[in-house]
Amino acid sequence: MEQWQGPGSGPWPGTTQPGGGWQGPPRKRPGWLVPVLALVVVILVAGGTFVFMNSRTQGQTPVAATSQGGAPGTAEQPAPGGGNADVCAMLDPVEADRLVPRAKIDSRTSDNRDDTIVSYVRWTCTWANRDISYKDVTRSREIVINVARYEALGDTTAEKAAKIQYNGEVNQYTYGGEHSTAERYYSKPTTLTGIGEEAVAQYQWVREKDHYYAFGTGMGRVGNVTFQVRFEASQQHKEADLFSTDTKQAITEDNALREVKGLLTQLAQSVTAWQQGKPNPFADRARPSPSPSESPKPVRIELPPYCVAVNPLAAELAPDTKGAAGVTPEKNGKLTECQWWNDQLPIDGGKIRWRNLLVSVHEFNSAENARYFLVDQRGKTKFTAGSRIGGIAWSKIVKLPGIGEDNFAQAIKQKTDTAYSSRYVIYALQGNRVVEVLLGGSDRPAGTPINSTDSVLMDLREARDGATSAITTVLGAF
């Protein structure tokens, strides 16, 4: 990765974004890998799955860190040309949110004023979101900006020190633009007029065996202050294998340079105002923030016809229970759920049986949105497929013949404080609907809860056959 020019400077952090134009890897070069992959596996507790009716740098010092979707608080207005720079407020918040929606924003400071070669303070701010769901792809975006104020040292004035730093960056861009390779491309540096006293930008991509990414970067200067930006973007199909770069796409040169130019223009305006002790030019722009909204709750309804059709089968799979149904609005449609639950079925040997049959029908406003939902669910499921974490074991994903237009299924065994059970889950696409069926349970000593360590998990073959019959019945009733 590229590094800052000059002593005491650290490398750029890894970055990522998507925007308008995308370039994909040539067909002859599959398998490029994103440089930084943040994998977060969220394990949902089984209670929600089962009972929807009952509850459903050296010298670096952090100066601010905000949670996702927020922005750092407003800093004190610095004295002209001095004081701390609130770099996270130096971009138009509306534009920053457009480029990196719902970003996590972090800032830090590096104080190098004790150095005997070059004296400066550098402020850094990062906007990042590497998990943006869009149709059948996951997008990753990041902006990193650095603002550095140089001070006089020996015979070198503060402005000359900034000028040396800027010229070093231009020389680096120029050298790269003349030495591109098959694995690393550097565009010729683009001189930008009307941005600060001087500014330059460059586009870069890397296409090595295990790396595939692209970004725009640029630098500008106003007096003794330099400002730098890096904007990286990528997107990948949700069902791509973990650590694979197949289907990976990165931002194109024209789009990257356009966005970098806009970001440098905003930084130049803010830096100039900061130096002159004037108000931040974007102080009156409202910072986008998530609107808190209460999660919709299911509204109890009568069993819809396709769940009524399941009743005879439910009497065998989860005996002695009446089905309950509820409907919940969700994005681009609605969710209707029907559940047959009995955790007190007496069986031989002084034991009781627990059976849970849950039918969930996601109905969308278009077949396309239904397909995106199935792809999204299958992509998320692949992260844990074939693994075991914290008392939960997931099988590999399989496709079942003859069920819907597309489908996938998975077996899950669970031994946690919440429940001891095994279950089989099937998702199937049909038209503008995605049907999800879950069948699971366990046997345990009478008088003990469903998380009893003495539980015997339901046979997964039984769970698979029952879930398959249930989803076939539902699909046939549409």
- Ranges of the chain whose pLDDT falls below 50: 1-80
Task: Compute the distance between CA of residue 415 and CA of residue 425 in angstroms, rounded to an integer.
Answer: 17
Q: What is the dihedral of CA 82, 88, 93, 96, to 10 degrees?
A: 130
pLDDT at 71: 41
Shortest CA distance to 227 belongs to which of 257, 271, 258?
271
pLDDT at 42: 28
58 token code pair: 């050296």
Please give the DSSP secondary-structure letter assigned to residue 87. Answer: G
pLDDT at 309: 97
pLDDT at 296: 83
pTM of the model: 0.62
pLDDT at 242: 66
Q: Count CB-CB contacts under 10 A for residue 367.
A: 14
pLDDT at 288: 65
Task: Compute the distance between CA of residue 428 and CA of residue 378 in angstroms, rounded to an integer.
Answer: 11
Which helix (H) or strand (E) segment holds residue 316: the answer is helix 311-317
Domain parsing of the chain, residue ranges: 22-275, 299-477
Please give the DSSP secondary-structure letter assigned to residue 89. Answer: G
CA atoms within 13 A on the CB side of 281: 15
Contact 370, 349 (CB under 8 A): no
Q: Count CB-CB contacts under 10 A for residue 211.
A: 17
Domain 299-477, what fold?
Answer: Protein Transport Mog1p; Chain A (3.40.1000)
Please give the DSSP secondary-structure letter assigned to residue 189. Answer: P
